[in-house]
Amino acid sequence: MIKLTVVIILSSILILWTDCHVLFAQDAVDRNIMMLRSPDEKQREMSASALRAFRDPRAVAALIDALNDSEDEVVEQAAKSLGFIGDPVAVLPLMSKLNHNDSSVRGASAEALGNIGDPRAIPALENVLATDWNPFLKGVVNDALTKCRLNTGKVVYEERVVVDQYAQPAIAPAQAIAPPAPAPAFSQTLQPPDQPVAKIAVLSFRDTTTSGANYGDALSEMITTAFIKSRYFYVIERSQIQKIMEEQQFSVSGSVDSDTAIELGRILGVEYLIVGSVARLGSLFEIDIRFIETKSGKGLIAESASCRGEEGLRPTLNKVTDNIIKRYDIMFRSE
């Protein structure tokens, strides 16, 4: 009887804790949605970014509205968050931002369209690829196009109306035909080649956290291990990279531009570079990774990912590695 009572009490505590956690998350989403209307531009930018962590569909209407904000930084963060939430209703508003005068907004919109993966975005992305001069943006757009083309066999969801819940009650979405079951993971569909297809080097990730812990080096080691295990590329060991750069008296600080990528490719004797950054917001890690061709200095593939807690870093980077290899295979080996 005592054991039963203890079990009931513990179960009640667990249910209460779960309810409190859900209510806290809902309250945080509601607060950030409201703060998107703040007169303080920095607060609007922070709220647009914070909503990314919750992936709550209730934020979609407010984030779409934020795409028309007067501050480019707010628009950029709103676009990124819409990409993380992945609601197809954001496709058309995001497509309209591909012609924005700020390249960061154009890049964030293209990346978001890739994350959503809706084939309707393909013509607009192809137009950007043909007309925009920015080499980094072309890499982002290429990656987005690859993702959207992977979904061309899926049924496109019908248009639906999203109404800001703070203005009036939400309108239910139009009924859509369910898409087919998702394709198997990379490891089930793509076998390693008989020999590595190219030589790559993974540079130390930039760490923008302020906690004092150096997550940049740790993530670089993790993704290096993931690429080695894939047996797809020949990967230069990071200790060898450091030794060569010291011998050549070459150092990299901050982001890698086209000229630096070309020079690093020459010094290290590699065809591609993996560069990235990591930021920690509480327990949430935000990771951005680029796959750069050293011959041209252009970014060919861009990946963004997030996870909660340090224990989620390695599985997340393993998935990112699979995505990069899969897209590389589509872009080059399938030609």
Q: Judging by DSSP bridges, how do beta strands 284-293 and 299-308 pair with one another?
A: antiparallel
CA angle 225, 291, 229 (to 5 degrees): 20
Give the residue carrying structure tokens 């680029």. 290
More confident residue, 233 or 132: 233
Q: What is the pLDDT of residue 57?
A: 86
| Residue, of 133 and 192, whose pLDDT is higher | 133
Question: 3-state DSSP call for residue 206?
Answer: strand
Q: How far is CA 174 from CA 5, 131, 210, 254, 305, in A?
A: 48, 35, 45, 46, 30
Q: Which domains does the chain have, with CATH numbers?
A: 2-150 (1.25.10.10), 192-333 (3.40.50.10070)
Range 2-31 average pLDDT: 56
Mean pLDDT to the nearest integer, 209-223 = 80
How would residue 10 be classed by pLDDT, with cut points 50, 70 and 90? low
Residue 281, token pair as written in the block: 């917001």
Amino acid code (one letter) for 289:
I
Mean pLDDT estimate for the chain: 77
Indicate yes or no: pTM above 0.75. Answer: no
Residue 269 pLDDT more than 70?
A: yes
pLDDT at position 273: 92
How many CA atoms does the CB half-sphere of 12 hold within 13 Å?
6
Average pLDDT over residues 139-162: 62
CA distance 252 to 245: 9
Is the Cβ–Cβ distance between 231 and 252 less than 8 Å?
A: no
Query: Does the pLDDT of residue 299 top 60, yes or no?
Result: yes
Residue type for 249, please? Answer: Q
In angstroms, rounded to a whole number, what is the distance separating the alpha carbons of residues 68 and 322?
Answer: 35
Q: Indicate whether 126 pLDDT > 70.
A: yes
Query: Number of helices (H) and strands (E), helices first, in the chain?
Result: 13, 6
What is the Cβ-side half-sphere exposure of residue 49, based on CA atoms within 13 angstroms? 16
pLDDT at 67: 93
Least confident of 7-11, 74-78, 108-112, 219-223: 7-11
Q: Which two tokens stand for residue 138?
A: 């072309």
Task: Assign 326 a pLDDT band (cuts: 50, 70, 90).
Answer: confident
Range with the poorest average pLDDT among 107-116, 125-134, 217-226: 125-134
pLDDT for the residue numbered 188: 43
Q: What is the distance of C-alpha 13 from the center of its chain?
A: 36
Both structure tokens of 236: 């230069």
- Least Cα distance to 227 among 279, 291, 288 occurs for 291
**Per-residue pLDDT, 160:** 37
In the prediction, which pLDDT does 22 show? 41
Q: CA 171, 35, 108: angle at the middle one, nearest 5? A: 80
34-38, 141-145, 158-162, 274-278: segment of lowest average pLDDT: 158-162
| 229 Cβ neighbours under 8 A, 6+ residues apart | none
- Considering only 4-8, 63-67, 251-255, which range has the smallest mean pLDDT? 4-8
Residues with Cβ within 8 Å of residue 102, at least 6 apart in sequence: 72, 75, 76
Residue 79 above 90 pLDDT? yes
Percentage of the chain lying above the pLDDT 90 cut: 13
Helix, strand, or coil (residue 278): strand
Question: pLDDT category, 102, cuts 50, 70, 90?
Answer: confident
